[in-house]
Structure 1
């Protein structure tokens, strides 16, 4: 089996599929966006297995050549079309959690149309005039007041958002008489894509250790030297060690850290998948603990507020850094986010003589002259105002935030200590 790099696979596929009747978008051969989901890249109805060797992902050259040739030979009659029956609009909260993200090409096209109809409806209108009329099918046969030409023009630059099965459906879609049409062969190709994706996801949900069925979207998927494998939390707990804090206070670049493999441990945050790296504080240099790739990326690249608010144990994990703990602080990149939370909870504007208690949007504008400037926006009343928080005030907010996070942990630690002291106290 000849292994080739993603870049070479992209080059070969582009060359061998030249002239394909199906417009292709092959960036996923490079990005491999769904590796964690099922270890494959799916182009049309062809699943290409991704292989991992020495920490690098590769493809089998024969798979690439074979799949590309299938698209080069794909026959498509532009005159043999079928009408696309689009599903009705559904709010995100009204969807089945298991169904979110499911391969559904008709639903994806419908979502694009409804999104664009909402954008057109709301553009230039104050928030008070927004309504749900864009959800209804209009006289043109499209949602709201949207026209087909407006939709195509608006979506022309959205390559990733118009991609389905690594193909570009808008180039094959036509709209006439209030109905949407695509070539029959292409519709059948996308139907097969849905089934291929469903089969891959179903197989990837099964725990390798006990054969139990796991979450749909990769919650049990853990990296290994050969790619992602599925292990339930009990099987992961049996396969990998629990981190007990034995590197607390150790510098990340010390020989001791380099001599201990992070992937021998469970991720300290999610506690469900194998760790891949030692996370550390970039402000002080101390190790915080082992994290899986997903949690490590989330800590480093998500917005600070997202990490603090959506990840259980996030603050205590950051405080595994001895420098942060002793100084009762957090890394500098989190300071603005904590100030934003404070302003959302305390800052209000006046509307008709009363304090507006609606949700506010807060945006950090700049740091100048020793103060952080924030812009606050109440969409309900179209009110905007600014608020300055000095650097010392920000540091005080961070310290209060840390103390609040530590309080439950300190109380939890104090209870066993108090019981132990009571057990050793001589009776009167």
Structure 2
């Protein structure tokens, strides 16, 4: 097959139908499944001046005959970027359902808000509706990646691979910046080039710039994301989250953990109630334990990353809470996970598998008592689904012993974080600890 499978014009523009074909062909062998109709089928809408494609915003060009085209080079660039995404389908992020979700705006041209779109479609049609029909958001066929889980046979939850969540979050942010740049450009064009004819002025206002991404700069209307310092350190989440304009302020920062994606939420310590930092949705979900109930936690494979390859970043992030920093420890669920994953690692049984021995079962930690009463708090580490016993208990570790082990490990693993912690380091420490702050979202995360 010829490399140029579509018939474009000399100016590099191709019709939407040809762009659909090219997009599917270029991404057929990529890790992220894509769908036809990325340019011509809802929610894509060429009339608004752009189409979302992978993590990119592709400008559309209209003709006097009412036809729409896109630049072939932009389609190829977006396809190349999507094909370069690394994805682990087992590394999942919960995307819903959540309580208190506002209604999604309907119709073509509405903002992406991909979580609300997916939740709306699944609530209306069910997850198995139109199985043979491709469903796309920014050209990505999300139904092929959606994982549905149930608990107690009643509550449904929906999950997507973390790489796709990050990608769609970035797309949503890129769309917001594109629209803001377009509006600023339109306003500027209207002011600097006034028209005596009202119809001509209206046309000038509705024409978007052809390449808004290239005009963005720190001094322009769409400045790059700001790195987070310590602007919110020591502030109470219960107070800050109710202040008008907080969400807009958060969106200006880059995620304080990964430092690449736009921040969307304020992560906070539920034991002491203090804001840690603005983070992206993916990092916020990754930081949460896999399954946290009133007094037990499943230690998922994500902790391998949190306590190993990215330990310095995550430990520094958790210690942004002045309460945790003064105690030189972690919130109870994370301390429980650390105890099982690190302190009790040698106790976990293994079984023969291809390529060597493999740890069996799933680690789970339960506790009695509270971190606020450390003398009576006891952590019990067990293995679920172990062939030698369905709920085999590995160890019972008092809270104080777990905290002491963590302090020693912290000093060895992240000495800079350990040096800034402890009761003798009272920088920004509140005079009085606040009570535990309940998670306003519920969803079995009240203690986190």
Query: Normalized against structure 2, the TM-score is what?
Result: 0.39
Query: Normalized against structure 1, the TM-score is what?
Result: 0.41
More helix as a share of residues: 1
The structure that has the greater radius of gyration is 1
